[in-house]
Structure 1
Amino acid sequence: MAMSDRLAQIPDSYFGKTMGQKVTHGPLPLINLAVGIPDGDTPDGIVNKFIKAVQEPENQKYVAFHGKESLKQAIVDFYQRHYGVALDANTEVCILYGTKNGLVALPTAIVNPGEYVLLPDPGYADYLAGVQLADAIPKKLNLTAPDYLPKWQQISQDVLLNTRLVYLTYPNNPTGSVATLEVFKEAVTQFQNTKTKIVHDFAYSAFGFDSKNPSILQVDGAKELAVEIYSLSKGYNMSGFRVGFAVGNKDIIQALKKYQSHTHAGMFGALQDTATYALNHYDAFLEQQNNKFRQRRDDITRALADVDIPFEPMRGGIFLWLKTPPHFDGEGFVEYLLQEQSILVAPGFPFGDNGHHYVRMSLAIDDEQLAVAIQRLQSIAHLYH
């Protein structure tokens, strides 16, 4: 096989393998609640900006490796406006071709072989691949119901002392849990003046249903050890554009930029112009998105509670973390829902050992289909009792 031993040791990406795959389901029309792709269209103004930007002669040539000044300034302005965080456009901002690229590249950029990386369990599945590609050692950051927050005192001192990087993600994918500023203060305090760095995956930042999601960079001293990775995919319905950015600690940003200078030749200029326009002009759209998903959260959780189907509190993000009925594991329940109710959901196991008796349901589906899915879910309440 023409594959390196290092690459061969990494399991196939679950969603890379299954996304778009044809599924066999029961007699009802299929409802896909498995993938977190925004169901709405990209706003017309953003699309029109992209069309015009493609036609610009300067965007048909190579651009600066580390991005246009206009996009970096838009990122700086966005963080100041939304979080009161001051950033230096040249030293504290790194533009990413999709946040996944940055999240997977980060261990290679700053972690040495054999060093520990703490990964949330449950948490986004592809963090692990980045750790393994760097020949680092993944360690579990155990998150438990109902809040799914780190409990640093439960981690052994040996692990803490040898950890180089910690991944956090709030709102959490897959659980829908959120972090307060106090939670981030505890994390920064825990690792201040150590060799450990923190990366906060802020992909679902726009979706905070009970209060606005804080940035870890709002904590005093956070930039001494932390970076935050922000995505335009979910809040702006721009998943196909593949635009994100990292902000924060200068040393980590420098390492990411160096890594990218050897793997990318700069983001397409038209994409940069479009992202700049979105960041500068669509704050109100982010609020609309939040309101839409809050209503969906309210609808499904109210309906499940009415028939005593247990679920974890969903305070942010776009996913509901649903406990399986007794005598089902996640994979078995996925198959049951697919064949009996024609509902496709994601099993919990790709998100870690703590996910084996859960499934993840995406609310990124139009309201009419969601209403039908809710009715079908209510009809299986007997499985829980």
Structure 2
Amino acid sequence: MIKIANRLANVEEYYFSKKLRQVRLLQSQGKPIINLGIGSPDLNPPERVLNALVETFNESGAHKYQSYQGIPELREAIVNFYKKQFNVPLSPLTEVLPLMGSKEGILHISMAFLNEGDKVLIPNPGYPTYESVTNLVGATPVRYDLLEENNWLPDLIALEKQGLENVKMMWVSYPHMPTGAQATNKLFEDLITFGKRNNILIVNDNPYSFILNKYPRSILKYRDAKDVCLELNSLSKTFNMAGWRVGMVLGNSEYIKAILRVKSNMDSGMFLGIQKGAIEALNCSDMWYLSLNSVYQQRREIVWKIADALNCTYDKMAAGLFVWAKLPDYIDAEEYIDLILKEKSIFIAPGTIFGTNGNRYIRLSLCAPQEELEEALARLS
């Protein structure tokens, strides 16, 4: 056998990739599994998005390679979206780069800026891909604590006291996944100051701003943000387009150029129909968000009852697609969710997969129809 690369020594297969195989096996055996573990929207995109995709099929050149930077109309739509929703002015020529999903962007940004020996601040709890990609590119992940008693916000003063030698990048994600915590204006201002003072690139991963969140914010709105910040965003959650793989990275033109040097060597552009659909999504009226959140509000009411049935506590002010719930002291999260999967045929994500600070928590997804949520509640009651 050929020996695998050393870079895989600290990288495991993604948790949900493994766990969903187990779930599918149980389903194939006739188990009526209800999946509350994954944040994959089950609702349809706006109808205008689907129409735009179909109408593109017969366009001249639709099936050719497309621009590595996306068509100009898509970049314009992204810029207009950021101006309208976040009051952030951007150049469509130099300060935005469409991506095949923001997960791709995590790798591209890391490859563009990190060398072996560089350190990266990773939120604990946080999205596991930040740490995996850091390991893949040969940099060193350094977890920083997010704690419930501090509203899941980083203690930047404590980080500086610990020392920041060789730290080049910091991942943040607000509204936060998995906890649903929301950033304050002060946090974003402090992060920018922190990045400038310590010469650290701050990357805010921002796909949940429009899900059950009254105050969408972009870190790029704040003074001097473009000096040290990038922002990732996605159409996956906001417009129910997870499988379409449409994301974007925004920020300083020099940073965007560096990322394009990586991206242009790794893909050959996004299918034109997907780009046309993305434009229609970004141009949706505010009625889309009201309608979407009306569904999620109803679902969240039931998920809160599920959390109550599991004797959990949770924050009703949290945003996003999940309910982050704290288990009683005596319960181990991973053992508990395996027991629920076995005995109740309900899959729930354990908080431990998001970091050690998640070991007393579970994450419940709102991405299941209301009737399935009610059935899950009935099984647990």
Structure-2-length-normalised TM-score: 0.92
Paired with 2:21 and 2:64, the residues of 1 have a C-alpha distance of: 33
Uncovered stretches (5+) of structure 1, i.e. residues with no partner: 380-385
Which string of whole-angstrom CA distances, capped at 9 and with x for unpartnered residues, describes residues 81-132 of structure 1?
1111100112110110011000122111111211110011100111112111
Which string of whole-angstrom CA distances, capped at 9 and with x for unpartnered residues, describes residues 240-295 of structure 1?
11001011122321111110011111111221111111112354212322232233
Given that 2:231 and 2:250 are in contact with CA atoms closer than 8 Å, whether structure 1 keeps it comes out as yes
Instruction: Tell me what 2:32 maps to.
Output: 29
| 1:119-138 paired onto structure 2 within 5 Å | 119-138=122-141
> Counterpart amino acid of 1:136?
A
Counterpart of 2:204 (choices 200, 204, 207) is 200
Instruction: Tell me what 2:12 maps to.
Output: 11
Root-mean-square deviation (CA), in Å?
Answer: 2.2
Q: Select between 172-181 and 278-287 the one with higher mean Cα deviation.
A: 278-287
1:82 maps to 2:82: no
Paired with 1:305 and 1:327, the residues of 2 have a C-alpha distance of: 16
Counterpart of 1:162 (choices 146, 162, 166) is 166
1:139 maps to 2:142: yes
Instruction: Tell me what 1:175 maps to.
Output: 179
Counterpart of 1:100 (choices 103, 123, 132) is 103
Uncovered stretches (5+) of structure 2, i.e. residues with no partner: none
Given that 1:145 and 1:312 are in contact with CA atoms closer than 8 Å, whether structure 2 keeps it comes out as no
Paired with 2:257 and 2:59, the residues of 1 have a C-alpha distance of: 30
Instruction: Tell me what 1:383 maps to.
Output: none
Moved over 6 A (4+): 25-28
Shift of 1:352: 0.6
Q: Select between 153-162 and 60-69 the one with higher mean Cα deviation.
A: 153-162
> Counterpart amino acid of 1:357?
R
Count of residues paired in the alignment: 377
Shift of 1:361: 0.9
Instruction: Tell me what 2:247 maps to.
Output: 244
- SS of 2:175 mapped into structure 1: coil
- SS of 2:62 mapped into structure 1: helix
Shift of 1:173: 1.4
Given that 2:179 and 2:318 are in contact with CA atoms closer than 8 Å, whether structure 1 keeps it comes out as no
> Counterpart amino acid of 2:61?
E
Q: CA 1:105–1:314 in 2, change beyond 3 Å: closer, same or farther?
A: farther
Instruction: Tell me what 1:267 maps to.
Output: 270
Instruction: Tell me what 1:51 maps to.
Output: 54
Paired with 2:348 and 2:325, the residues of 1 have a C-alpha distance of: 10
Shift of 1:140: 0.9
- SS of 1:112 mapped into structure 2: coil
> Percent identity between the aligned chains?
35
Given that 1:205 and 1:317 are in contact with CA atoms closer than 8 Å, whether structure 2 keeps it comes out as yes
Paired with 1:249 and 1:286, the residues of 2 have a C-alpha distance of: 29
Given that 2:7 and 2:137 are in contact with CA atoms closer than 8 Å, whether structure 1 keeps it comes out as no
Q: Select between 167-176 and 294-303 the one with higher mean Cα deviation.
A: 294-303
Q: CA 1:260–1:230 in 2, change beyond 3 Å: closer, same or farther?
A: same
> Counterpart amino acid of 1:19?
L
